[in-house]
Amino acid sequence: MSPEKLLENSINSIKEGLNTVGNKYDNHIREKAVEKVNEKIHDKGLNIDQIEQDDYEAMVSDLSKDIKEDYAKKASQGLLAVIGLDFLLG
């Protein structure tokens, strides 16, 4: 196998791995959002079948966005805490 082909295969493998991780993350976020939306619907005494599909998807989408923002905030706070400790411990 030529070095160019080996490099190309390696790059493609990395891209596929990143896509897989991204898809799993998005699926995890969506599952969490669906669970929370279903809980909210049941808490209001409604049945999921009573909700229009477009409205349901909008609720899941909005909550997915909120969950991603929350995860990003926690990750940045954790990073800042580690950086702060690094500065303190020098």
Mean pLDDT of the chain, nearest integer: 86
What local confidence, expressed as pLDDT, does residue 87 receive? Answer: 67
Q: Is the pTM of this model over 0.75?
A: no
Please state whether 45 falls in left (phi above 0), alpha (psi between -120 and 50) or beta.
left
Handedness of CA 25, 31, 35, 38 (dihedral sign): positive
Mean pLDDT of 9-26: 81
Which residues span the domain enclosing 45? 3-89
In this predicted model, what pLDDT tens digit does every residue of 3-14 receive, in sequence order?
778 778 878 788
Q: Which residues of 15-26 are buried (b: 16+ CB within 10 A; e: fewer)?
A: eeeeeeeeeeee
Domains: count for the chain: 1
